[in-house]
Amino acid sequence: MAKLNFGGTEENVVTREEFPLSKAQEVLKDEVVAVIGYGVQGPGQALNQKDNGINVIVGQRKGTKTWDKAISDGFVPGETLFEIEEALQRGTVICYLLSDAAQIALWPTVKKHLTPGKALYFSHGFGITFNEQTGIVPPADVDVFLVAPKGSGTSLRRMFLQGRGLNSSYAIFQDATGKAFERVISLGIAVGSGYLFETNFKKEVYSDLTGERGTLMGCIQGIFAAQYDVLRSKGHSPSEAFNETVEELTQSLMPLVAENGMDWMYANCSTTAQRGALDWWKKFRDATKPVFEELYESVATGKESQRSIDSNSQPDYREKLDAELKELRESELWQAGKTVRSLRPENQVVEA
């Protein structure tokens, strides 16, 4: 484990240099990793482990679309693809990658198969941290840990295929075997992490829920909508409003930030853009900070987790979700975006 300086604070991290794939393969050589759930994180994590030579199986309900997807991805029924309960029985490491609501519903079945020495793996601290709401309390004689990639399963897989890695956090909640650290780091490397940074279950879920509702998804959509609406109300066309709100940010500026940081991006923009950004960023910080304080408090007090559980457990959740996503999809902002994306050179069909 290395200690690196992050803005003046030393943190423990594990890199692929000090913990190469060959070491992970050696640690996991006698394990059967059962990936339960093949929806958001499941495919990326399962396929990356499979490609990295780990003995991975998938547990999924037969006859579902995700069962069929696992088959199309190369998992073989009766060999590497099983009904959930059989996969739970076969697995020595249970990668519990169902949605939070589905984890609650399946927990009695999972717990039954957590025999001594097995490991229970999460990619989210939700079920353990909010166990008074979820009922997820593992037996004392199994390892419990998490690897949380900082991105979607799609991104995890895409970056793996590009020879890159997605940063992940790791945490150990329970070390029953004395081998939890080696197991969790090996799995973190096997799923395609670029490097792994240390956290705990509570901090992971608090930061994750705040981030998803904040700058990663909720806040950014709100800011997009606000700026787009102002530009449109002042007479700007949809294409101009979208390009100045979303396209330039995602296609031009954010890649520069990702490469070298915000100061470098500022330094490589026009002096007019620099001046405006430097003059206004603190006003946006001060305006939004109270909202983030309110958001974090809602996460820490369990309000957000309870709302998620109550909402996502409803039988008509999928229909309500589809309606909310339809509202976004059919808004002028994202209809304009659909046209703008179609005009990117890489999406143009050029006749020879």
Q: Residues at the annotated binding site for Mg(2+)?
A: 208, 212, 244, 248
Q: Calculate helix-pair angle for 332-342, 317-329, nearest 10 degrees.
A: 70
The single-letter DSSP state of residue 77 is B
Q: What is the DSSP string of 29-51?
A: TT--EEEE--SSSHHHHHHHHHH
Whole-angstrom distance, CA of residue 92 vs CA of residue 84:
14
CA 131/CA 152 separation, integer angstroms: 24
Indicate the SS3 state at residue 192: coil
The closest of 273, 262, 297, 281 to 7, measured between CA atoms, is 262
User: Residue positions in the annotated binding site for substrate?
Assistant: 270
For residues 81 and 109, the answer to whether their CB atoms sit within 8 Å is no
At 133, list the tokens: 């709401």
Burial 265-295 (b: 16+ CB within 10 A, else e): bbeeeeeeeeeeeeeeeeeeeeebeeeeeeb
Q: How many CA atoms lie within 13 A of 314 on its CB side?
A: 12
**Type of residue at 96:** Y
- Asked if residues 200 and 174 have their Cβ atoms less than 8 Å apart, the reply is no
351/348 Cα distance (integer angstroms) = 10
In the annotated binding site, the residues are 208, 212, 244, 248, 270
Task: Using alpha carbons, select from 187, 195, 170, 172 the residue that is nearest to residue 4.
Answer: 195
* Catalytic choice (54, 94, 106, 124): 124
124 is catalytic: yes
Q: What token pair was written down for 329?
A: 């999809």
DSSP string, 134-169: H-----TTSEEEEEEESS-HHHHHHHHHTT--EEEE
Q: Which residues are catalytic?
A: 124
